[in-house]
Structure 1
Amino acid sequence: MNKKGFLRIAATATVAALLASGSVAVWAQGSETAGASAAPAASTAKEVRQANRALSRKVYAALAKHKEIDAGNISVVARDGAVTLNGTVTDAAQIDSVAAIAKTVPGVKSVANRLSVQRPMGE
């Protein structure tokens, strides 16, 4: 079998798989709403992004209240209540402190702490 024949078969299989998965998704949606009462509409993607940004800002604000922590090298990413902390701090003790502060913010469900200690230049 030459390369063109193989690519044609692979493309056909891919299209068939996509069509089959689309059919299942349409069927599944129809079965969910057939007997159920009207449920509230799901949040739009824009509303979800706004909520995630608002939660990130709340975590930054909570960190700003603690003058001993330099949050300038910390990034906060929030997704549906799960907060990820990235970046560096100046002291190893601050790693746990930042995570503890983030956990106290209303709306935070979990914290993934990926902070590390900033090494002085030349080491």
Structure 2
Amino acid sequence: MKIITSVKLACGALAVLASLNAWPQASGAGMAQPGSTVAASGSVSPKTARQANRALRKKVYAALAQHKEIDAGNLSVTAKEGAVTLGGTVAAAAQVDMVAAIVKGVPGVTSVTNKLTVQQAFGGQ
């Protein structure tokens, strides 16, 4: 009889101790679930943001690679949250606007900053 009473008392004490360390949890459709990459503030985790930026850069390079008249080896693409910055050189002035137009058509691109320049021939001519 004393064993059963002491077991009940010990279980009650453990329940009280466990409840002291408990934190209230908000529930609702707009709240992030445990293990999700979106925090309650609506921001994306840094790892997920890097992956999304890397994926967008790959999409931009793939779109440029479909146009054989553009040498994508001399281009640099930086993507951050849908904003794409283009750098590097192209062979002709007409390609500066062409590259920007191609990049604007890539799904996920929200804006394009074009810092492309025309490649000068050796000897300055």
Matching residue of 2:111:
110
Q: What is the number of equivalent residue pairs in this alignment?
A: 89
Aligned partner of 1:52 in structure 2 is 53
Structure 1: which 5+ runs fail to align? 1-34
Greater share of helix residues, 1 or 2? 1
Structure 2 residue ranges without an equivalent (≥5): 1-25, 33-38
AA matched with 2:31: A
What are the residue-to-residue correspondences of 1:19-98 with 2, within 5 Å? Answer: 38-40=30-32, 41=39, 42-98=43-99
How far residue 74 of structure 1 moved from its aligned partner, in angstroms, is 0.3
Q: Sequence identity, in percent?
A: 62
Shift, 1:81, TM fit: 0.2
2:116 alignment partner, SS class: strand
Q: Which residue of 2 aligns with 1:9?
A: none
How big is the shift at 1:39? 3.0
TM-score normalised to structure 1 length: 0.68
TM-score, structure 2 normalization: 0.67
For residue 60 of structure 2, what is the amino acid of its counterpart?
V
Q: Distance in 2 between matches of 1:97 and 1:118?
A: 15
Q: Which of the pair has more CA radius of gyration?
A: 2
Aligned partners of 1:81, 1:113: CA distance in 2, in Å? 14
